[in-house]
Amino acid sequence: MKYGVEVQEANVLLEKVSRYLPGDAVAQVEQAYLYADDCHDGQVRKSGEPYIIHPLQAAAFLADLNLDCHTICAALLHDVIEDCGVTYEDIEDAFGPEVAKMVDGVTKLTRMDYKLPGAELSPVYSSDDPDKLYAESLRKMLVAMAEDIRVVLIKLADRLHNMKTLDALPPAKRKSIAQETLDIYSPLAHRLGIWEIKWQLDDLAFRHLNEDRYREISRMLAVRRAEREEYVEEVCQRLREMLDAVDLKAEVYGRPKGIYSIYNKMQKYAAQGDELRDILDLYALRVIVESESDCYRALGIVHQAWSPIPGQFDDYVANPKENMYQALHTTVICQAGQPLEVQIKTTEMHQVAEYGVAAHWRYKEGRANDLKFEEKMTWMRQLLEWQREAAETEDFIESVRQDIFRDQVFVYTPKGDIVELGAGCTPVDFAYKIHTQLGHRCMGGKVNGRLVGLDTPLQNGDTVEIMTTKSNRGPSPDWLNPNLGYVKSASARQKVRQWFNYQARGSNIERGRDKLRKELRRLNLNLDEAEILTLVRFDSMEDFLLNLGSGGLTDGQLAHRLSHALRPEPDIPQPRPDLPLSSPSSGISVLGVGDLLIRMARCCNPIPGDEISGFITRARGVTVHKKDCISLLNEDEPERIVEVSWGEARELFPVRVCIEAYDRVGLLRDVTVRVSEERVNIASVITRENPDGTVIMELTLHTTGLEQLGKLFSKLEGVRGVTSVTRANSPVPVKV
């Protein structure tokens, strides 16, 4: 049985595609709808609507972008593999390899949704490390986009409809999906130039992440809507009359602002000390003309009518953004002293601004490639280069987020070629963007013909020239120091790291070997190579030592892995005769307070299960006796008898630690403070001074095991004057 709303949505889709597709293509879209409807028969979304509504609305949005028949069919079928048990081969047989490949690509991207932080993992895609799986899926999505952008256009349409129906999900999952939308999908839509999707994703995500602020801004806009619309229409009418007077055909209308866009502007203005009303009064107009030359004619009319604000003009017609956006932007002081932003563009530029890459989509049958379009999308091919160069998924994602999803500046080479960089990038970033070897040999830079420091942020329109050295000395180590500001882009930072990793491979391996020997000696471990590789989870000793020496694996991580895998055996160890029998936590609670020095009375030797009482000694903590112990019964100071009980037993192990240090006032105090911070009891301390001004301290400690001991060693090594911390009587570790 068919639902009325389902048939209505299908008719809307078919009507949209019939406006620009030939009859046989419309028939194929209808066939894809019927196929998807049959597959999803009986399935209902959490919002309560029939499932088929979701692919229908996603396809309808893509039809508004005039996308080709194969993309519309793939949008209708994008969930059938994931949710209906349909195979790739089934779709290929019914609709051809092109549609099947797109559906398969969207299916793989959809699996990212199972890996969101806070989302429930599907059993099929579960993992011990969902964040890593999510990053890997994101990497696949971006690479898939570079191979066939239509896959991501379908995914964006899918995400847009999901965001519109997000209220059906639990609050935690709504926030998680909304945050991912702001972090990934909205910047992706912006980078593809699809403003129509971007502003909707922004506002929908903002509503779920900060509902109170969203409603506050909505109310403020509603209160002043009539006044704002009246003012904008008055300004539009005046500008239309001035353009008509010079026979310049143009559409002039107000440009609406998204709620999330207003929120961001409010944050920026608040940081500058401006008031909220200053933001809401920044009205905006859009002027659509017929040709590029008309853009500049219209700009002249606007500047004749109202005074331009200095520094508030951008020419994106002569210097388009890499997401293909073109327009003239100017801000003027308009009627009643109000700031007015004016955007001037042609009809084609407006289509590109609203629909981005989708506005340039060409049917493949018999069409020549648009070389200008291909040049503008070179950043997508760079994704493929980065994903081949980046060994780790995290490095690749960092490059994308910093170098592609960040605000951009446009600078020139000395030959006049335009280079796009992230906002805040420096001449060093510019050099690495041109060529890796140019970056390695960079020794100075000129901006607009003047020598500048290599940490100078580049601005829009700068002409940058790199001065190089003839030697092969390579980059400076200071370039990797984020506090010095030499390198801002992730891709340049990655290339600098690669150079140092390659140059310092031998020294890093030796440094890693020294660190390993030190850690084995500290933990009193005697392990062979196979055991070490098992514990640290590396395939080869060389890779392990290289990572350890270069900082890829930190000393703390090494200690944690060794100690975590080599926990003490559960059997209670035999007490050593040369260590005290007392323990700071022997499973005894005194008046509800633990971690006091406890001793078992030798006169009655209580064991768990006995009824016990405690006796407060003058210098040795609490001694635990059986309740019927003759010593307690004959005690003439009953006020020193306290209630104790058998608590949760914690097994502690005595260990002797040897500390070598330069002697100074306060050394012992600093050592004991660090030990107490780790909640470790000191049973005894023996110090021995050497003639050379050094001192050796032997501490007997009670610890829970190697993990706690490893943390304590790191703390003790940080004490001023301490030169080494080891376990006493440690055997010499094996050679590695």
Which residues participate in catalysis according to the annotation? 82-83
Neighbour tally for 402: CB within 10 Å: 18
Tokens matching residue 39: 């597959």
What residue type is assigned to position 698 of the chain?
E
Q: How many residues does the chain have?
A: 736
CA 29, CA 557: separation in Å to the nearest integer?
55
Residue recorded with tokens 């639990």: 170
DSSP state for residue 24 in the 8-state scheme: H
Residue from 386, 462, 492, 380 nearest 149 by CA: 380
Tokens matching residue 326: 């073109």
Burial 545-576 (b: 16+ CB within 10 A, else e): bbbbbbeebebeebbebbbeebeeeeeeeeee
DSSP state for residue 620 in the 8-state scheme: S
CA 517, CA 514: separation in Å to the nearest integer?
5
CA 493, CA 326: separation in Å to the nearest integer?
31
Q: How far is CA 359 from CA 66, 347, 461, 471, 686, in A?
A: 8, 12, 27, 48, 80
CA 80, CA 100: separation in Å to the nearest integer?
11
Residue recorded with tokens 């059906």: 168
Taking the alpha carbons of 695, 700, 702, 706 in that order, is the dihedral positive or negative?
positive
CA 286, CA 344: separation in Å to the nearest integer?
6
Residue recorded with tokens 């055996």: 569
Residue 44 bridge partners (DSSP): 50
Extended beta strands in 594-707, E state: 598-600, 612-616, 622-626, 641-642, 644-646, 653-662, 681-689, 694-703
Torsion of CA 454, 458, 463, 465, to 10 degrees: 20
CA 134, CA 115: separation in Å to the nearest integer?
5
Phi, psi for residue 234 in degrees, rounded to 5: -65, -45
DSSP state for residue 457 in the 8-state scheme: P
Tokens matching residue 416: 């006049």
Phi, psi for residue 329 in degrees, rounded to 5: -115, 130
Residue recorded with tokens 């239309």: 240
Residue recorded with tokens 């376990």: 727
CA 406, CA 422: separation in Å to the nearest integer?
6
Phi-psi region of 38 (alpha: psi -120 to 50; beta: other; left: phi over 0): alpha
Neighbour tally for 616: CB within 10 Å: 15
The three-state DSSP-derived secondary structure of 410-421 is EEECCCCCEEEE
Q: Angle 105-110-113 (CA atoms, 0-180°, nearest 5)?
A: 155
